[in-house]
Structure 1
Amino acid sequence: MTAVQAAALGWRGGFGRLLSAAVVSKFGDSLRTAAMPLLAASLTSDPMPVALVTACGYLPWLLFGLLGGAVADRVDQRRAMWAVDAVRGLLMAAFAVAVALGHASIALLLAVAFALTTLQTLFDNAATALLPSLVPTAALGRANARLMTGQQVAGTFLAAPLVPVLLLGGPSVPYAADAATYVLAAVLIASLRRPPAERAPRPAGSTLRGDIAAGLKALWADRALRGLCAATTLCNIGMGALIAMLVLHVTGWLDSGQAGFAAVLTAYGVGSVAGGLVAGRLAQRLGRIRSVFVAGTVQVGALVVLGTVRELWAAVAAMAVFGLMGLVWNANQTTLMQERSPAAMLGRISAAFRTTAVGGAPLGALLGGLVAAGWGLNTPALLAAALFGLAVAALAPLIN
């Protein structure tokens, strides 16, 4: 990396503020992500309602994801991001008050998960489109890896170990902390100073529907992105099943309690941090598509171990490897999309990719609940292994 590229990844270039906002927000999100399944499990022992909470955290991508991408290409992405975070902060503050007053219910958890993800459809697409304007193209891979690694550090070394401690202060404390991080992230993003993006005048009569259709066509026309999108969709079905039932897998099948669940989440985060350190090197040696292929292959093995070895240490090791290769996959996938997409269409192509890919997670969450109820709490991990195997097979034709 040249001195110019290194400077572009600093605070003054804007990337540092975006990174700081992402890290702060991830810290709060990790508190909520760890606490909410435990709250759901305390309200019901039925696997299906717990799975529905996870499903509602993904479903808005099917309903609003494409619209969020089209809007992201039309508006000032910086303003959209800080406004969304401000609203999410207010929403989480209200949820924390409801939990503190003893009004938590599965219905409320479903509504909050749905609302947060609806707002996230605009935020994430705007963030993906904003990053290339802050760093040189040659530094995109490193920037994405730093963003994802910083987020994992915040979630792993700060948030995950704190969740049991914060819960001692009351069930609402993690959600109040999440609300505060949203507000701080909004302030950091609002402090970004960059000239408005230059956009070509839109054709007369252009509509959001037409913009969405153009994004879908552009994604379909690119063979590499199309194949990667199909593979990621299969993986996300598996991830939906795994994440929805992970708390019951650890606390029930492994009988390891809340401390065991925290250990598994921590191992996943540690592995992800390590993945951020090696993602760029693998891409340089193997290329981005091959790096994703290798990552998926290793993840299949980790999931098989998770679903067959009934020991906490095995689950911890498997999730560490799974997280490492997951970040290798995600960093190279995001960078490839940014490199291959026209700047004026990046929000829409990102939305088309994410809506198709993330849309598989609600299906996976429901499937996870069904197979767990019918065949045991370890079977969602094995279902995920099979789906990741299909994803790797879908990537094979792209390997030159």
Structure 2
Amino acid sequence: MVSRFGDALRNAALPLLAVRLSAEPLVIASVTACGYVPWLLFGLLGGAVADRVDQRRAMWVVDTVRGLLVAAFALAVGLGHASIPLLLALAFALTTLQTLFDNASTALLPALVDRAALGGANARLMTGQQIAGGLIAAPLVPLLLTAGACTPFVADAGTFLVAAALVASLRIRPPQSGPRPAGSTLRAEIGAGLRALWGDRTLRATCLATLLCNIGMGALIATLALHVTRWLDAGDTGYAAAMTAYSAGSISGGFIAQRLARRTGRVRALLVAGSVQTGSLLLVGSVRDLSALVVGMLLLGAMNMVWNVNQVTLMQQRSPASMTGRIAAAFRTASTSGAPLGAILGGAAARLYGLNAPALLAAVLFALAVTSLIPAGKPDVRAVAPDDDVMTARAAR
């Protein structure tokens, strides 16, 4: 949660810094896009490595390296050397390291809690991350920027190093992955993870739906600073209000994600979340008022948390313990590949059709995601973890 606080500072500060360096929508969107490209290049490799190594050690080493990189970037900004190429390089490097960190953390959690408790554990973990990273950090960005463009990045570097120390201090037994077959290669293990994901009907449909949602979110997030500061003319304060509303919504979504899943089943919870997000994006893109944006971002954040908790829990529960890192990597790589495409599409849409066009484009993509997910909600989907009372809730009806 400490590093998520720093992530929120950096993720909010980077677009604002990019806006100060360039007024071109495609250039600004490229900063966001570059932050996703490493998932396409290294995501599968990160998952295979995560299944081979001590995941706790991998996490604290990665956070240490990321802390040093951001500290160097903060120094460059403080000395007046900020530039779009430097922003692109930082985004690329941090996400490359994140491919290992995220897959390692996803694979580690099922070793720490029972599979039947994963939904609640994911909800509490993600809610805590939002409290630290969004509700507290996002409003601080405009204040920190007044102290200097490098200040949010100095704070981010510090949180990475603190997080690394905390993870390194954990005294837990690493999960047992079992012996690998003789002659097994990373390429073969990556292929096994891809086949496992494709062979599970529920995960396959969820991955496709998440891909469409990520294209939409990539379009929105890459141009949100322009949407708020130019289309709404709300300035940096309005941008902070939008990000704070999204974070507050995410926190509330963390409290209802498991309850909704218990009532409907996890896949149907995804359907509900996607439908509400579609309406929220239509509101954001069609009503030129800051209050409408705040309400839309609040709902968007709440349902995004519902989606994330249930999507990650489904993936963990339906994955063999020895393959969780690889299946998670295959899922993330496939679904996250939409984000850089969405960022570029968002920049192009903003340039050609207006600064509110990316939000409307995102609404269309979310509607398609809901439609693509409908077949996975049928009651004949097999249950891999029968002790989970929400995976197939109401399926007997």
Q: TM-score range by the shorter chain?
A: over 0.9
Deviation readout 1:13-55 (Å, 9 max, x if unpaired): xxxxxxxxxx111110110111110000000000011000000
Distance 1:276 1:43 in 2: 36
Q: Does 1:320 align with 2:298?
A: yes
Greater Cα shift, 159-168 or 104-113: 159-168
Map of 2:147 onto structure 1: 169
Map of 1:141 onto structure 2: 119
Question: What is the CA-CA distance between 1:157 and the residue it aligns to?
Answer: 2.7
* Alignment counterpart, residue 376 of structure 1, candidates 354, 376, 384: 354
Q: Does 1:56 align with 2:11?
A: no
Question: What is the CA-CA distance between 1:156 and the residue it aligns to?
Answer: 2.8
Distance 1:46 1:319 in 2: 24
Map of 2:249 onto structure 1: 271
Identity rate of aligned residues, in percent? Answer: 67
Q: Does 1:298 align with 2:280?
A: no
Q: Does 1:185 align with 2:163?
A: yes
Greater Cα shift, 156-165 or 376-385: 156-165
Q: Secondary structure at the match of 2:139?
A: helix
Q: Secondary structure at the match of 1:389?
A: helix
Map of 1:110 onto structure 2: 88
Whether the 8 Å contact between 2:177 and 2:321 is mirrored in structure 1 is no
* Alignment counterpart, residue 34 of structure 1, candidates 9, 12, 28: 12
Map of 2:184 onto structure 1: 206
Deviation readout 1:301-352 (Å, 9 max, x if unpaired): 0000100000000000000000000000000000010000000000000000
Question: Aligned AA for 2:180?
Answer: R
Map of 2:44 onto structure 1: 66
The gaps in structure 1 that reach 5 residues or longer are 1-22
Q: Secondary structure at the match of 1:73?
A: helix
Map of 2:59 onto structure 1: 81
* Alignment counterpart, residue 395 of structure 1, candidates 364, 373, 379: 373
Map of 1:338 onto structure 2: 316
Distance 1:311 1:155 in 2: 26
Q: Does 1:308 align with 2:278?
A: no
Q: Does 1:362 align with 2:340?
A: yes
Distance 1:371 1:123 in 2: 33
Question: What is the CA-CA distance between 1:195 and the residue it aligns to?
Answer: 2.0
Deviation readout 1:185-205 (Å, 9 max, x if unpaired): 001111111223222211111
Map of 1:232 onto structure 2: 210
Question: Aligned AA for 2:17?
Answer: L
Whether the 8 Å contact between 2:18 and 2:84 is mirrored in structure 1 is yes
Aligned-residue CA RMSD in angstroms? Answer: 0.7
TM-score by length of 2: 0.94
In the TM superposition, what are the counterparts of 1:1-16 in structure 2 within 5 Å?
A: none
The gaps in structure 2 that reach 5 residues or longer are 379-397
Deviation readout 1:114-153 (Å, 9 max, x if unpaired): 0000000000000000001111212111110011101111
Question: What is the CA-CA distance between 1:209 and the residue it aligns to?
Answer: 0.3
Question: Aligned AA for 1:212?
Answer: I
Q: Secondary structure at the match of 1:160?
A: coil
Whether the 8 Å contact between 2:50 and 2:103 is mirrored in structure 1 is yes
Question: What is the CA-CA distance between 1:264 and the residue it aligns to?
Answer: 0.4
**Segments of 4+ in structure 1 off by > 6 A?**
none
Distance 2:304 2:2 in 1: 21
Question: What is the CA-CA distance between 1:217 and the residue it aligns to?
Answer: 0.1
Q: How many corresponding residue pairs?
A: 378
* Alignment counterpart, residue 130 of structure 1, candidates 88, 108, 114: 108
Question: Aligned AA for 1:62?
Answer: L
Greater Cα shift, 154-163 or 270-279: 154-163
